[in-house]
Amino acid sequence: MKTNLRTFIKHSAKDFHNQSVNPPVVRASTIIFKNLQDIEKAENKYSKDPRSGNFNYGRQGTSTTFALQKILQEMEQCYKVYLTPTGFGAVFLAILSLVEPGDEILVTDSVYSPTRLLTQDYLKKFKVKSIFYDPKNFNDIKNKISNKTKLIFVENPGSNTFEFQDLKKIISLAKKRKIYTAIDNTWGTPYLIQPIKLGFDMSIVSATKYYSGHSDVMGGTLAVNKKVFKLVESTNRVTGQRLSPDDAYLILRGIRTLDVRMDKHHSNALKIAKFLAKQKKVVKVFYPLKKNSQSYKLWKKYYTGASGLMGLRIKSKNKPSVKNFVNSLKLFGYGYSWGGFESLALYQNQRQLGARSYTNLNKDEHIIRLHIGLEDPSDIINDLKQALKKIK
């Protein structure tokens, strides 16, 4: 029976063999067989269908990781999902599976800063050129495509400044020019948007964030369509990336409540965004809030909801006072990552933003990133009220 995604994630991956609601954690380096013939059968089944869950060595996974892959493949509406030890590992696997010496890739300028380091600096040694485009200007993509362009790498919305792009336009252009497409969909997850179904070749999610939901596990997922499957499959086999069964179990357990948590993150964040938009010291709230804005229209066009991550642009000649605002928050933790149950705050310096070309900060403007957690929203607002008084 076909069910809604909310129902599906509650009822999938049960283990009736062990009579367990959740599959057990199966740890293995050696996958044991009764005889040599059984090894050959497993290898033959894998050769015929690499998605079959037939393993012959622990690096390929166990029944625990396969259970997670199966549930994610349905959520993503994709051909196969690959599991990596970190979210950035999924970014690495996606890009390295496609590029060759002499290729060019187009990357959104407001990309996650480690992705920028990978594409801008690391890929140079492999003679791969990265060109960064303005996420607010679709024509900039068209103008920067060449006959060497292999991949368009999108992050939607952009990291820290949260620009939303017209995804179907990018997909349509890429298909006409026979260019691969990849998107970092960590902000939305397939609960809010399914990029493969939309037409992307690859979709990346940092499972460290909302999938886990409890800030105690790291992992990444790469969903692919059939078109790029063989390229990613061969790269995955030689790079040795593997998510541990323990982490896979925790991520799968987190997914059971993904819908409930995401809805609450959205509800809380919307209330906080409306409050912050009225504050004189806040120049702009980076969140789909104003219905007449381009960002809101593009968010509404593709997403069924929003997550809890947002940015603030604050104007102040007194930088220490802006940092004091962040340090004065009582209910916000200070640390990297996000997507857990708790609220987090960071002052985004130039290193965290990356060497961007299209993020224009006026003099005395500062960017703060907030992750709005699952606390009572009135408590979060009261906390922000007292801390905003520190800005001079």
Within the chain, residue ranges assigned H as helices are 5-11, 36-48, 63-76, 87-96, 113-120, 138-144, 167-176, 189-192, 195-198, 226-239, 245-255, 258-277, 294-302, 319-327, 350-353, 377-388
Catalytic site residue from 184, 201, 247, 259 = 184
Catalytic site residue from 27, 45, 59, 226 = 59
Q: Where are the beta strands (DSSP E) in 141-219?
A: 149-155, 180-184, 202-206
The enclosing H or E element of 285 equals strand 282-286
Catalytic site residue from 80, 209, 261, 356 = 209
Residue 196, number of CB atoms within 10 A of its CB: 22
Catalytic site residue from 82, 112, 191, 302 = 112
Residue 184 known to be catalytic: yes
The enclosing H or E element of 371 equals strand 365-371
**Residue 355 to residues 32, 127, 247, 319, 358, Cα–Cα distance (Å):** 50, 21, 33, 20, 10
Residue 356 known to be catalytic: no
Residue 371 and residue 344 in contact, taking contact as beta carbons nearer than 8 Å: yes
Residue 135 has phi, psi (to 5 degrees) of -65, -15
Q: Mention every residue, 6+ apart, whose C-beta is less than 8 A from residue 253.
A: 22
Instruction: Provide DSSP, 288-352.
Output: S--TTSHHHHHHHHH-S---SEEEEEEE-S-HHHHHHHHHT-SSEE--S---SSSEEEEE--HHH
Residue 112 known to be catalytic: yes
Q: Label residue 339 exposed, middle or buried (CB < 10 Å: 0-12, 13-18, 19+).
A: buried
Closest of 136, 167, 169, 170 to residue 151, by C-alpha: 170
DSSP assigned state of 362: P
Task: Name the residues annotated as catalytic.
Answer: 59, 112, 184, 209
